[in-house]
Structure 1
Amino acid sequence: MHREFDHLQVLSALPDPAGSLHADFSQPPINEVTVTNPQLFFNRELSWLEFNNRVLQEALDPRNPLLERIKFTAIFSGNLDEYFMVRVSGLKQQVEAEVTKRSPDGRTPQEQLDAIRDRLLPLVYRHQRHFQRALRPQLMAHGIHLMDYRDLSLDQKDFLHQYFQSHIAPILTPLAIDPRQPFPYIANLSLNLVVQLHNPATDERLLARVKVPETLPRFTAIPTDLPMVNGRQDAVWCAVPLEQVIAYNLEALFPGMQVAEYYPFRITRDADLTLEEDEAEDLLLAIEQKLRIRRTGGSVVRLEVHASMPEAIRKILMHEMEIMPEDVYPMEGLLCLRDAMVLMDIPLPELKAQRLKSVPHPDLRPVHRKRRKWAELSLPKASPLATQDFFTVLRERDVLVHHPYQSFDDSVQAFIAQAAQDPDVLAIKMTLYRTSGDSPIIESLIAAAENGKQVATVVELKARFDEENNINWARILENVGVHVVYGLVGLKTHTKLVMVVRREADGLRRYVHVGTGNYNPKTAQIYTDVGLFTCNDDLGADVADLFNYLTGYSRQNAYRKLLVAPANLRDRLLYSIQQEIDHAKQGRHARIVAQMNSLVDPEMIVALYQASQAGVRVDLIVRGICCLRPGVPGLSENIRVLSIIGQLLEHSRILYFHNGGDERMYIGSADWMPRNLNRRVEAMAPVESPELTGELKEILGILLADNRQAWELQPDGHYIQRHPGYRCSEQRAQRILMEMAEQSATLGASRA
């Protein structure tokens, strides 16, 4: 049921997605297509803001179910938190260090900070206004009452007063803001109240700070059977923001004082973890120390305040936190809307997007039928499975899995669990960049070690915001005898690899999984990723060499099939692009299609410009940051850039080169960014089976034909969302891929 790849790529029959917007772009000198020409590149930081704007548009889009729009509202807010902690903080450090080096698009660090604020303020305002004026009333219409305290009935206020006395007040610690004592420490991302007090005995005006406790739910639930204002009794869920429950009961914290007013505020601190690895004798201990510094807090990079906060109080907070007015972001409504994600737990499926249910891969269905419960498989004394289904299947053919459409549990997790129990498996080697806190994969690795197998894991302790989780897993694995290494000095290990060494009748055989996503069963349900299972000898030998590079003193630079960063990945990609250029110059068909998360690297962008100028047709599916300018006459008119923002997070990295008809396809872990190509260990594996390359081409074709959740990048940096035209049916790629997976699973079951 494969669709024709090129047919799906040709979208001339679709309506013009640009609509009424026409880019006004001054063409750069095309005789200066070099990495030093700033006109060739979009700014990385501003491009990321455009990505988050596309997330925001999903929250605004009335075609999405209500709670799905709430989800994107929360994601927009959470994305900004990390953006400030890492990207904005890095720019501020450069300004403080008087760094004058310009970005590829020609901006100084300060100019980038100024541009970020100019672009972000209207986005934040729209985000806040839409939640307050559109989403909250719509929630209420469906019985989801996220109330303000002032709008509660007397019965509801009485309930909250009692709840405050018994469950909230004992936790609170009001702290005075007084010139005679140090300013209270404000934790990163914490929500706080600054309280204005009046001392009637001395007529003094005082200030205090009350931290909203993170140990309590952000929204305090109210029984739905309590009478509401105007006698309404339609509540499915009713709650009040915790900070308001505290604010309206402040008198209990300040007896003898008069509470004049309160104002919520929230800060964001620099949380980027930098480490001089060559000076750290014990990497694990060094990162633990850095994590403590992160928790206690770096410098403040953002202050969010309620718009009603008086200027005098803002100045006090700014002075104490050593920030400037441009670091202050006034909010009209609730602060920290990332907490709105809790509304997704409300059991109203009609207000949510249709769930995409994973199905077993048809080739791995025997494994699905025979697998036992994970708890049983993880026990070191568990009986081995009756048949080695994975190994039997992979000896016959390679298998490509596409998550979450095809089950991660029944493929990757089952593969590792079976290897842990198989008496003929001698060794398991695996990279772990991010995994979940209750990972069955970790349980299987522990079981394998306890079963006497040699188990080695490369745990990346520097995976941002997962460092603590990875440290815990590293210690647990070491305690049961797993060989744990932390990768290479100066390089993050980002590649996604598993290798199983098995004793068979004709000798030892390596079984390999190469993936685009983390070995994390939770994110595997919401991130789209592809993975290749194979026992190809050359690929297995390459993966073995790469593991030796990661765990020992090998300095392997030559690989048979793998493209490995920083060894040969950049050069091989540039060579593949140059081949397409050569084919185009000789009048042959030339084509590049690439899906990735981000495209930033100037050298790769210049190579794509040169390909376009030579007549190579280039289609890029870039979910997030894209610094390439498409559609510029004489430069990039043959390049099209799409971004798909949907129910699932597009995370696959898939590369296609037409190569004069001898097509080449790769999957793997690397985006086209300087960090991925220069400072990380990445691997891209060739997919050589004609059947599997057909599947990958079909995936890319369906993504490129999306006219519902695809956004097309314009020459001026703006994105225009595609819409089905007159008499055109809606093509929603993620829904189509789910339907295809279900059909394939049904056919596989009927043949079994």
Structure 2
Amino acid sequence: MGSNVPGIDFNNPSLYQNRELSWLKFNDRVLYQAKNKKSPLLERVKFLAISGSNMDEFYMKRIGGLKQQVIAGILKTTVDGLTPQQQIDACHQYIDTYQSEKERVAKDLLFNDLSKAGIEILKCNQLTGEEQEQIREQFYDNIFPLITPQSIDPAHPFPFISNLSLNLFVTLRYPDEQDISLARVKVPVGSGADRFQRVNPHDLKFVLLEDLIENNLDLLFPGMEIVSCELFRVTRNANTSKDEEHADDLLELIETTLKYRRVAPIVRLQVVPDMSTLHRGQLAAEMGLDEKKDVAVSRCLLGLRDLWELYRLEMPELKEVNHLPIDHPLLTKERNIFHTIREHKEILLQHPYESFATSVGRFLYEAATDPKVRGIKMTLYRTDPDSEIINYLIRAAQNGKQVAVVVELKASFDEQANIKLASRMEEAGIHVTYGVVGLKTHAKVILVIRQDFKGLRRYVHIGTGNYHPVTSRLYSDIGIFIYNKDVGRDATELFNYLTTGFSPKRDYKKLLPAPKILKKTLIDKIGREAACHSKNHPGLIRFKMNALEDVDIVKALYRAAHAGVKVELLVRDSCRILPGIPGVSENVRVISIVGRFLEHARIYYFHNNGNEEFFIGSADAMKRNLEFRVEALVPVEKESLREQLREFMELQLHDKVGAWELQADGSYQSVNPNPRKGAASCQDKLIKLAEKRQHEVQRLRKRKSRQKGDVTLKKKS
């Protein structure tokens, strides 16, 4: 198919959403979950915490990166026609509106709805005299030793303010003197103190840690008169990557980068409304910020991520019923997992509906303990520092198996944890490498080499999510066990590339790896769908991913839709394509699912004139994933598994509870703004489907067992 379509300019900026603004709209959909009064109360608190944490990371990564471009004098526009500074301005304008809504939701939720449920967040002066004495004693014993006040004067320059820290800007003076002194007090959240301080263990009254400190400043500054005490919070740029092309030691480079990140430029200063104009300007000047653009006045709780403390209260009546993943029905404990995979050739895993621990975790455990296993190779992007995954790999090495792990040191915000894990594994004798210079290793692949009765055989796991036992309970992901000669060879080629960096002419028969093959293949397959589309054989493309940002992929989808192909997209957050544009994208539909689990799976489907193709893997359709990361998609060829994926996508495309549909103007509309209470979302239905598959397999086993028993009885008779 030609690259041009007569009468349509696919470079027209009006055809594309801005990536940053599109992501901000996603965070609006998260915030909506916090104000949905049909949801359990503490689940709403959780979503408010997530929306705040999301915004912190947005400033750290996205605004921070745009500011770097502005400083570098970059004026190049993105495909949607905006320069870096114009994007920052547009984001600030959007965030101002978001902030007003967030403040309204937070005030209603934290001080009205929680109070009605018996969870009170009070000011110290609202406590009884006895309670004030009690909380002051708690402060003196448990908080006071953690605090180090810092004066600000010619002998004590303005102190370093750490990222995402809460701070009190205190003005004080000696009695009977007019000269003002300044001090900074860091609120020690996360350094041994909770943000929400329980007044006593017998009820659910809380005071905020910063309020508790403010009401006990006389202990920190004895004999001084406190003139004012004002809360502020800073966010620092997290884009601190160095040039690894010239790095002799990648581990040392990442450690240096982390040290630099601690002192990286501040990109946002948050202050409370009652901070004086003088002090606001003083802080902005000290931090090198534009007071009008970089200072945000917040009328709700600063640092909403700390609301996770309230969510962890043991109050199950205020939460969703705890979901317990089922064991995959084919992976019975009685049988060696490699025998099961060898028999079925492909086994699809749906997390968190099916257990990660008894599938992927068990796969690694048996690989570590099975005497016939000779080697394990694995990519590791993120995992829990206390994960059993690491223990299994170490155990395998101790059992004399060849173990090689490709650790991604540059996994955002997990760099320090991955450095420690890498060192721990190396000390245990595991061969640890850090991937290919210039590329992040984002692929999720495990290769196990086992001495079977017919020689060495390769067993592969490929997934869409991290090998992280904790997030596997919270994220919706897909994985697959495969026993296939071509996939095994491809996985071997991939690991050889990751451990050597050499990639002249590697031949892949099944896998679609990035950055060499995947993007071109996806564009070719989109073009093929358009080429074979006809009235009698209509084309259909279905993609599910976290983000659709790559301009070349978007243009290919526009061309296919213009040719008549139906394009159905499940895109969780950022999405550049716009549906419903006359003459261009009437055949495009975009749905975003926001629910109790974070949608994280990537599925690519092509109707292909009836010869359907399904691929799953780690890659989103983003330029960074397709061109600057090592990714891998694998085809799902077993018809029963393809039917599961088809059912999965159908449920999400027709969800009536947590689905939002993208409009031609870039806005999102809830598919069903007022679902009846208790209505089942697509995620609820996927829980039921997993249970149904389990029951069907169990019923089949019982039937076979009875038939076997009948045959035995007949033989005896």
Same fold (TM over 0.5): yes
- Equivalences for residues 207-226 of structure 1 within 5 A: 207-214=182-189, 215=191, 216-225=193-202
One-letter code of the match for 2:577?
Answer: L
Match of 1:194 among 169, 174, 191: 169
Tell me the equivalent position of 2:685.
736
Shift of 1:671: 0.3
Shift of 1:505: 1.6
One-letter code of the match for 2:153?
Answer: D
State the distance in 1 between where 2:339 and 2:420 align: 32
- Equivalences for residues 564-643 of structure 1 within 5 A: 564-585=513-534, 587-643=536-592
One-letter code of the match for 1:638?
Answer: N
One-letter code of the match for 1:172?
Answer: I
Match of 1:478 among 426, 445, 469: 426
- Equivalences for residues 436-585 of structure 1 within 5 A: 436-555=384-503, 556-585=505-534
Give 3-state SS (helix, strand or coil) of 1:456's partner: strand
* 2:9 paired with 1:60: no
Instruction: Note the alpha carbon deviations across 1:631-673, whole angstroms, 9 max, x for none.
Output: 1110101000000000000000011100000000000000000
State the distance in 1 between where 2:109 and 2:500 align: 58
Instruction: Note the alpha carbon deviations across 1:201-250, whole angstroms, 9 max, x for none.
Output: 3211222111101311111111154xxxxxxxxx3x22111000000111
Classify 1:338/1:727 alpha carbon distance in 2 versus 1 (closer, same or farther; 3 Å): closer
Shift of 1:486: 0.3
Shift of 1:195: 1.1
Shift of 1:37: 2.4
Greater CA deviation, 553-562 or 591-600? 553-562
State the distance in 2 between where 1:410 and 1:726 align: 35
> Are the equivalent residues in 2 in contact too, given 1:388–1:422 (CA < 8 A)?
no
Tell me the equivalent position of 1:15.
none
State the distance in 2 between where 1:478 and 1:347 align: 39
Give structure 2 stretches of 5+ with no counterpart.
Answer: 702-717
Tell me the equivalent position of 1:31.
7
State the distance in 2 between where 1:504 and 1:286 align: 42
The higher-RCO structure (CA 8 Å, 6+ apart) is 1
Tell me the equivalent position of 2:321.
354
Tell me the equivalent position of 1:429.
377
> Are the equivalent residues in 1 in contact too, given 2:172–2:228 (CA < 8 A)?
yes
One-letter code of the match for 1:427?
Answer: G
- Equivalences for residues 71-470 of structure 1 within 5 A: 71-214=46-189, 215=191, 216-225=193-202, 235=203, 237-295=204-262, 297-325=263-291, 326-364=293-331, 366-367=332-333, 370=334, 387-470=335-418
State the distance in 2 between where 1:747 and 1:260 align: 71
One-letter code of the match for 1:507?
Answer: G
Shift of 1:729: 10
State the distance in 1 between where 2:301 and 2:677 align: 41
Give structure 1 stretches of 5+ with no counterpart.
Answer: 1-28, 226-234, 371-386
Tell me the equivalent position of 2:709.
none
State the distance in 2 between where 1:411 and 1:728 align: 34
Shift of 1:149: 1.6
Give 3-state SS (helix, strand or coil) of 2:170's partner: strand
* CA RMSD, Structure 1 to Structure 2 (Å): 1.7
Shift of 1:343: 1.0
Give 3-state SS (helix, strand or coil) of 1:681's partner: strand
Shift of 1:504: 1.3
One-letter code of the match for 2:653?
Answer: L
State the distance in 1 between where 2:529 and 2:577 align: 19
Classify 1:358/1:668 alpha carbon distance in 2 versus 1 (closer, same or farther; 3 Å): same
Shift of 1:740: 1.1
Identity within the alignment, %: 45
State the distance in 1 between where 2:605 and 2:378 align: 27
> Are the equivalent residues in 2 in contact too, given 1:147–1:239 (CA < 8 A)?
yes
Shift of 1:356: 2.2
Instruction: Note the alpha carbon deviations across 1:700-749, whole angstroms, 9 max, x for none.
Output: 00111101100000111110011178999945100000011112223333
How many residue pairs match? The answer is 693
One-letter code of the match for 1:314?
Answer: R
Shift of 1:33: 3.6
Instruction: Note the alpha carbon deviations across 1:14-47, whole angstroms, 9 max, x for none.
Output: xxxxxxxxxxxxxxx983443x321221000101
Greater CA deviation, 202-211 or 280-289? 202-211
State the distance in 2 between where 1:273 and 1:454 align: 35
Match of 1:720 among 663, 669, 672: 669
> Are the equivalent residues in 2 in contact too, given 1:557–1:567 (CA < 8 A)?
no
Give 3-state SS (helix, strand or coil) of 1:160's partner: helix
One-letter code of the match for 1:506?
Answer: K
State the distance in 2 between where 1:198 and 1:52 align: 44
Instruction: Note the alpha carbon deviations across 1:495-543, whole angstroms, 9 max, x for none.
Output: 0000111111212111000100000000000001011111111111111
Classify 1:419/1:68 alpha carbon distance in 2 versus 1 (closer, same or farther; 3 Å): same
Give 3-state SS (helix, strand or coil) of 1:363's partner: coil
* 2:15 paired with 1:49: no
- Equivalences for residues 699-710 of structure 1 within 5 A: 699-710=648-659
> Are the equivalent residues in 1 in contact too, given 2:345–2:484 (CA < 8 A)?
no
Give 3-state SS (helix, strand or coil) of 1:31's partner: coil
> Are the equivalent residues in 2 in contact too, given 1:30–1:634 (CA < 8 A)?
no
Match of 1:657 among 606, 616, 619: 606
State the distance in 2 between where 1:661 and 1:175 align: 71
Instruction: Note the alpha carbon deviations across 1:278-324, whole angstroms, 9 max, x for none.
Output: 221111111112111222x2011000000111100000000100100
Greater CA deviation, 247-256 or 392-401? 392-401
> Are the equivalent residues in 1 in contact too, given 2:533–2:609 (CA < 8 A)?
no
State the distance in 2 between where 1:340 and 1:729 align: 25
One-letter code of the match for 2:285?
Answer: H
One-letter code of the match for 2:232?
Answer: F
Give 3-state SS (helix, strand or coil) of 1:461's partner: coil
Classify 1:312/1:729 alpha carbon distance in 2 versus 1 (closer, same or farther; 3 Å): closer
Shift of 1:251: 1.4
Give 3-state SS (helix, strand or coil) of 2:7's partner: helix
Tell me the equivalent position of 1:228.
none
Normalising by structure 1, we get a TM-score of 0.90
Tell me the equivalent position of 1:645.
594
One-letter code of the match for 1:504?
Answer: D
Tell me the equivalent position of 1:25.
none
> Are the equivalent residues in 2 in contact too, given 1:529–1:650 (CA < 8 A)?
yes
Shift of 1:389: 3.2
State the distance in 1 between where 2:438 and 2:606 align: 31
Normalising by structure 2, we get a TM-score of 0.94
Give 3-state SS (helix, strand or coil) of 1:62's partner: coil
Classify 1:333/1:586 alpha carbon distance in 2 versus 1 (closer, same or farther; 3 Å): closer
